[in-house]
Structure 1
Amino acid sequence: MVDQWVARRPDLDPRPMALFGRLTRADTLANGAIAATLRAHGLNRGEFDVLATLYRGGEEMSAGALAGALLLSPAATTNRLDRLQAAGLLSRLPDPEDGRGVRVRLTDAGRDLLKRSVEDHVRGLESLLALLSPDEREQLSALLARLLHSMAALQD
């Protein structure tokens, strides 16, 4: 692709297109692998994110705090919570500090499922990175962090 662009438009440097093409392809492949791992546990990525956020946050939090941590609208959060509650993976309780609020709590089944799925998830991510040395992983992570920072600055 780079050679073809250079031949047709020698005045343009096509390397940024190649780089972002690789990022897009890596994202597509990673998302497919992650989805397959989570699907084996009966979860989609959004549901996994809810369970993982609750687990990391101490297994219980307000619905509002959960929505904020997930960067979701209240409606989208409610949709995910409804599915997970119907599956017996979490429960919702009145918030004793806010009469209008709701606390969301992992059930034993939700905690057990999260523990199993996160172990497989991490193993899957490790396999995607298997060809990179620890130093290369750190370098890639640092470079992507810088790229994301500079891209976010362009949005401001």
Structure 2
Amino acid sequence: MTNGTDENKDRTDGDHVDRLRRQWARELPDLDTEPMTILGRAFRLTNLVRPSIEETFAGFGLDRGEFDVIATLRRSGPPYRLTPTEMYSSLMISSGGLTHRLDRLEKAGLIRREKALHDGRSVLVALTEAGKTLAEEAFRADMASEARFLQALDGQEREALAGLLGKLIAGIEIELAPARRET
């Protein structure tokens, strides 16, 4: 166990990832841990903010997955309807996982399932007015919460970081695309 002085010293010597890298450098000095400076921090960042994001959605009676469904419908634009296939492709979840979420959201009156006009066997998922309102309110609260986490960076730093992360993600998506097509 460390005392408060040790914790303060560690904070002035960098962040959590810097501490991990120093430990690995001591144990495996021949290993380049530079990838941790980005991917380790991205993982750490996600773990740090996830509870706050989940708490925000819980305040609206939603879990993260339920919010993702109504947000996907809301950002699709009028008439706020998508096929289940369009939804689970966008959400990157299984059709079974989506069905479970849709059942809960329909029971709550936030979405409804409608027969497609062009094909009576097909179903469309439509956002209700209550779902539209809740999606907007929850998203506004989430963005306000997330903005507080970014206060350590000024506008130019946020723009630069967002651009670099976008470039990194695009490169990773290109590299992983052949593997996804094979599965």
Q: How far off its partner does 1:146 sit?
A: 2.2
Larger Rg: 2
Residue type at the aligned position of 1:132: L
Q: Is the 8 A contact 1:63 1:101 kept in 2?
A: no
| Range with bigger deviation, 89-98 or 4-13 | 4-13
Higher relative contact order, structure no. (Cα contacts within 8 Å, ≥ 6 residues apart): 1
Aligned ranges for residues 33-72 of structure 1 at < 5 Å?
Answer: 33-57=52-76, 58=78, 59-72=80-93
Aligned ranges for residues 88-107 of structure 1 at < 5 Å?
Answer: 88-107=109-128
Residue type at the aligned position of 1:48: F
Cα distance in 2 for partners of 1:63, 1:9 equals 48
Residue type at the aligned position of 1:20: L
Q: Please state whether the residue corresponding to 2:120 is helix, strand or coil.
A: strand
| Range with bigger deviation, 70-79 or 25-34 | 70-79
Cα distance in 2 for partners of 1:3, 1:74 equals 44
| Percent identical residues | 37
Over residues 120-144 of structure 1, what are the superposed CA-to-partner deviations in whole Å (9 max), with x where a residue is unaligned?
Answer: 0110111111111111111111111
TM-score by length of 2: 0.77
Q: Please state whether the residue corresponding to 2:23 is helix, strand or coil.
A: helix
Q: How far off its partner does 1:75 sit?
A: 1.7
Over residues 46-96 of structure 1, what are the superposed CA-to-partner deviations in whole Å (9 max), with x where a residue is unaligned?
Answer: 111111111111222222222222223222211111010011111111111
Instruction: Determine which of 34, 38, 61 is the counterpart of 1:15.
Output: 34
**Distance 1:66-1:16 versus aligned 2 partners, 3 A rule:** closer
Q: How far off its partner does 1:14 sit?
A: 2.6
In structure 2, stretches of 5+ residues that fail to align are 1-19, 179-183
| Aligned equivalent of 1:24 | 43
Higher fraction of strand: 1
Cα distance in 2 for partners of 1:90, 1:13 equals 50
Instruction: Determine which of 156, 177, 180 is the counterpart of 1:135.
Output: 156
Q: Please state whether the residue corresponding to 1:130 is helix, strand or coil.
A: coil
Q: How far off its partner does 1:2 sit?
A: 2.8
| Aligned equivalent of 1:79 | 100
Cα distance in 2 for partners of 1:14, 1:70 equals 32
**Distance 1:17-1:99 versus aligned 2 partners, 3 A rule:** same
Cα distance in 2 for partners of 1:95, 1:14 equals 53
**Distance 1:14-1:69 versus aligned 2 partners, 3 A rule:** closer
Cα distance in 1 for partners of 2:86, 2:36 equals 38
